[in-house]
Amino acid sequence: MVVLVTPQLGENIGACARAMLNCGLTELRLVAPRDGWPNERATAAASGAGAVLEAAQLYPTTAAALADLHYVLATTARPRDMVKEIVTPEEGAQRLHARAAQGQRSGILFGAERMGLINDDIPRADAILNIPVNPAFSSLNLAQAVLLVGYAWRRAGIEVEPSVMDTSGVAPATKNEVENLFRHLDEALAAGGFYTSEQQRPSMTRNLYNLLQRTQMTEQEVRTFHGVIVALSGRSRTSRGS
């Protein structure tokens, strides 16, 4: 599915819906569109792809839009100051199809027209999808980006043999489960005095969140990690009290 984060113009949302339907993509999620929703200009620009807009789901935050997904790619052309795997549209499309073959739900994040995705959105994705256009002029219209990625996804659907990760029958963790785990870890670290500088804390938390996302944990592994945090937090309190 396609997730548009804070899109600005209704015309661009409509053009994205048209590009999606060209490639056989029909699930659209919108995160806090600037001009509200529904939007008449989006419908006019969709040019026959109104069904995509009618079925579009609205969310207040990126985290909410990704909560039930298992795998997410973030599209961006700008370098980011964090460790993150970068894949081409072709490689990303193959991964999305392979995940779908395993019954997992995946999404592709696109940022707002002027600035793209913000830094806090990037750690929520499992990898960055970079479209290899002219490096001297890498700016793409939002609908163009959706069309290029959607086309790669459509082509890959005919050719890909899905790879399988053996998880011993345990389901992969959803984004919401990883989000809750990070909050638990963040609270424990704050209580334990890990954050010595409030100025550096946003960068540190993004890196920690990014690290959790890269591990691609199962539901069981998330539960185990919660237990580890509880055990370590209790041991830390005991040590300070002795």
pLDDT at 169 over 90: no
Residue 78, both tokens: 């700008």
Biggest distance spanned by C-alpha atoms of the chain: 71
Q: What is the mean pLDDT of the chain?
A: 91
Q: What is the mean pLDDT of residues 81-107?
A: 93
Each residue of 202-238: pLDDT tens digit?
Answer: 999 999 999 999 988 999 999 999 999 999 988 656 5
pLDDT(192) > 60: yes
pLDDT of residue 83: 87
pLDDT tens track for 31-52 = 999 999 999 999 999 999 999 9
pLDDT at residue 27, as a whole number:
98
Residues linked to residue 5 through DSSP beta bridges, in sequence order:
31
State residue 240's pLDDT score: 58
For residue 211 the two structure tokens come to 């690290």
- What is this structure's pTM? 0.83
Query: Measured between alpha carbons, how far is residue 30 from residues 107, 113, 187, 240 in Å?
Result: 12, 13, 30, 47
pLDDT for 146 equals 97
pLDDT at 115 over 90: no
pLDDT of residue 157: 83
